[in-house]
Amino acid sequence: MEFPAHKASPNCVTATIDGAARGNPGPAAYGVVFADAAGKPLTQLAGRLGRATNNVAEYRALLVALTYARTEGWRALRVRTDSELLAKQLLGDYKVKSADLKPLYDEAQRLIASFIYFAVEAVPRKRTRAADKLANAALDKRSAISRQPSAKVPSLAAPAARKITIRAVYEGGVLKPLEPLDLAEGEETLLIVRPRKA
């Protein structure tokens, strides 16, 4: 299913996405697997989302895919998802009635408009297994942390909290670090933005 206004591209990147939530809502995470036009793997992304519904997690996975693709300069993107709801909402077949999904849908449409070509395809769950595994691996890491005796949401004042100060530049709607970040994959952090004075 393609967006009619966009032209097909032979260099189209495919993003297979999945959002997972244990409970509805419950602890949630996303997984994204990118491949080039020939099906060769490019990169994989995964991370935790905090507490969310399955549908919100699916939209968050989509936004991660769109944002990353745009950052990499990929102008043609095909998204594969096992969420028929997400696919049909993006195509306009279903209305977005949920107050939780509406801002995510609006952001997705804004990002989609920046691509030369975009398509979304609802596929059977077996075709999104790689992304599902990534999302569940991220969830397992979160579950291990939440079983600790401390509070489920650690305080920023806790001894284990780290403070990292780096410079970054804001380009094309994305904040890009100018220095390496010593963070584990999927690690949650608090970002405080202080514009640099000229």
> Domain holding 103: CATH number?
3.30.420.10
| Residue 14 DSSP label | E
**Within a domain: residue 175?**
no
pLDDT digits (tens, 9 = 90+) for 125-171: 999 999 999 999 999 874 332 332 322 322 222 333 445 667 777 77
Q: What percent of the chain has pLDDT over 90?
A: 64
In this predicted model, which residue has the larger pLDDT, 160 or 42?
Answer: 42
Residue in the block written with tokens 């449409």: 109
pTM of the predicted model, to two decimals?
A: 0.70
Q: Quote the tokens at residue 79.
A: 């998204």
**Within a domain: residue 173?**
no
Please say whether the beta carbons of 68 and 45 come within 8 A: yes
Give me the domain span that covers residue 97: 13-146
Mean of per-residue pLDDT scores for the chain: 81
**Within a domain: residue 49?**
yes
Which pLDDT score is estimated for 193?
A: 66
Q: How far apart are CA 126 and CA 130, in angstroms?
A: 9
Q: How many DSSP H helices and E strands does the chain contain? A: 4, 7
Please tell me the total count of domains within the chain: 1
